[in-house]
Chains A and B, each alone.
Chain A
Amino acid sequence: MTLSYRPDDTFAHRLDPRAKLGFQAAFALAAFAHTTPRGLLALTGVTAVALRVSGASAREAMWAYRFALPLLAAGPVFAAATLGPPWVRPAEGFDTALASYRVVLVLLVSAAYLRSTPVRESRAAIQHLVPGRAGQFLGAGVGFVFRFFPVLRGDLRRIRDASAARLGGEQSVVDRIRRVGVAGLARALARADRFAVALRARCFAWNPTLPHLSLSRTDVPVIAASVALAAWAVV
């Protein structure tokens, strides 16, 4: 189960994507500047509100980020352990535990963004925020990656199934990686060539029509909160 946009009518769904991106950046700044028990307690409250107003569930978000958790849990152990007496330094372990926890909070806030923002709005936000050709390239490219990622995942799955059916699992690791790599890459490149032809046939332009983005009164509290968090981070 991965985190993705889910249509809804929550407060966060009605916000401008740029306001939400700004809020995430401000939140991360604040979390890194105030990695103290009191600071993180306050930010936990902010996180709970962000999840609440976007309709995201903390449990689903943690499940989506489960691969990050072992390292976050191991960090404090590595920080606390020392070779030689006193063997364990609890103070350093505690500091790293706080640092791990702030990462969890930042991940949860980004889960709220993912749940409440459709891809085309994110794309439009990128193109509005990054000026000129660079933004146009990023916007178009991000759209293409979204389009082709599931297709290529399917390609790789079929290649591996076919290989497994022919006892490919008996080969050495390098041979298996090479086989998946060659077949996967060949298909990706063939798709890229066909895609390029299709783009040219449809007059692929640097200035396509994007969904209209405009900041409204709804965004004011989020922008105010972002400014407050960023200011708190600097103080």
Chain B
Amino acid sequence: MSTDTASVELVGEEAVENVARAALLAALTGAFAYVSFPNPVSPVTISLQVLGVFLAGLLLGPVWGGLSMVLYLAAGAVGAPVFAGGSSGIGSLVGQSGGYLWSYPVAAFVVGAIAHGGLVIRDPAEQSLVRLVGAMVVGTAIIYAFGTIGLSVVLGLSLREAFLAGAVAFIPAEAFKIAAAIGIVRSDQIAAE
């Protein structure tokens, strides 16, 4: 056991708060992977993982939202059962759904950057509806673009086949998550936090 006794480098106050929030949002995204709802318009159930990505970007802003999703991927890679269906491991990151997973940090960054209009964090509840919805629509497009390309590379499918096999059935449900995310960031309970 080697103890670094020469100096203790304390983490700054603001950074402690941001690290804690980023870790908790990453853990929440993992916990959301276990929550599923029946989809009224499609036989595929709705899982809430992507809602975690949206909320990370909206609440933590582009930088810490993106870092939060990096923590999510790292924790999943070394064994936290946070990926879809409670799976984990490096295998998941290079497997058929790897494209989706790698898109999360990028999507959270972009959602945060659009919703906050840059790298400086503002209160998401005060942003216009169009800006919030636009941010999440772009985020959704990024997630599905990465996911489709990943699936096509990993399984050797054409982009069209990959889109039909792995994306098209899930896209309608994203509208529900976007609508719910707007309600969440504008709710009094979250605004008070």
Q: Does B34 contact A (CB under 8 A)?
A: yes
Q: Is the CB of B37 within 8 A of A145?
A: no
Q: Which of chain B's residues have a CB closer than 8 A to the CB of A114?
A: 79, 88-89
**0/1 interface trace, chain B 12-32, chain A, CB 8 Å (1 if under):** 010011011111111110111
CB distance from B71 to the nearest CB of A (A): 4
Taking CB atoms, residues of chain B closer than 8 Å to A181 are 48, 51, 55, 180-181, 183-184
**B156 located at the interface, meaning its Cβ lies under 8 Å from any Cβ of chain A in the complex:** yes
Given the complex, which residues of B lie within 8 Å of A211, measured CB to CB? 1
- Shortest Cβ gap from A162 to chain B (Å): 14
State whether A64 and B37 are in contact (beta carbons under 8 Å apart), knowing that A71-B96, A141-B71, A148-B27 are contacts in the complex: no
User: A203 with B39: in contact, given A113-B89, A144-B27, A186-B190 (CB under 8 Å)?
Assistant: no
A163 CB, min distance to chain B CBs, angstroms:
11
Interface string of A92-131 (1 = CB under 8 A from B): 0001100110010011111101100101001101100000
Name the B residues within 8 Å of A207 (CB-CB).
4, 7-9
**Residue B166 interfacial (CB < 8 Å):** yes
B141 is an interface residue with CB less than 8 A from chain A: no
Query: Which of B105-113, B114-122, B126-134, B157-165 makes up part of the contact surface?
Result: B157-165
B138 at the interface (CB under 8 A from A): no
Give the interface SS of chain B, mostly helix, strand, loop or mixed.
Answer: helix
| A29 CA to B3 CA, complexed, in Å | 36
Given contacts A148-B24, A173-B176, contact A156 B32 (CB under 8 A): yes
Option from B30, B35, B154 in Cβ contact (under 8 Å) with A180 = B35
Contact between chains at A141 and B39 (CB < 8 Å):
no
Q: Determine if B70 and A138 form an interchain contact, defined as CB atoms under 8 angstroms apart.
A: yes
Q: How many residues on A have C-beta within 8 angstroms of the other chain's C-beta atoms?
A: 87
Determine if B81 and A3 form an interchain contact, defined as CB atoms under 8 angstroms apart: yes
A67-B87, A122-B78, A178-B183 known; A204-B30 Cβ under 8 A: no
Query: Do A106 and B91 have beta carbons less than 8 Å apart?
Result: yes
A123 to B161, CA, bound (A): 38
The CA of A145 and the CA of B77, in the complex, are separated in Å by: 12
- CB < 8 Å neighbour of A74 from B8, B26, B34, B165: B165
Q: Is A209 part of the contact surface with B, judged by Cβ < 8 Å? A: yes
A78-B164, A109-B91 known; A186-B19 Cβ under 8 A: no
From 152 to 206 in chain A, residues with beta carbon under 8 angstroms from any chain B beta carbon are 152-153, 155-156, 160, 173-174, 176-178, 180-186, 188-193, 195-196, 199-200, 203-206
Binding site for B on A (CB under 8 A): 2-5, 21, 24-25, 28, 32, 35, 64-68, 71-72, 74-75, 78-79, 95-96, 99-100, 103, 106-111, 113-114, 117, 119, 122-123, 125-126, 137-138, 140-142, 144-146, 148-149, 151-153, 155-156, 160, 173-174, 176-178, 180-186, 188-193, 195-196, 199-200, 203-207, 209-212
A-B contacts, 20 of them at CB < 8 A, read A3-B81, A66-B85, A68-B85, A68-B96, A75-B96, A78-B164, A79-B161, A96-B157, A103-B155, A106-B95, A108-B91, A109-B91, A142-B71, A149-B31, A183-B189, A189-B59, A192-B20, A196-B16, A203-B8, A210-B2
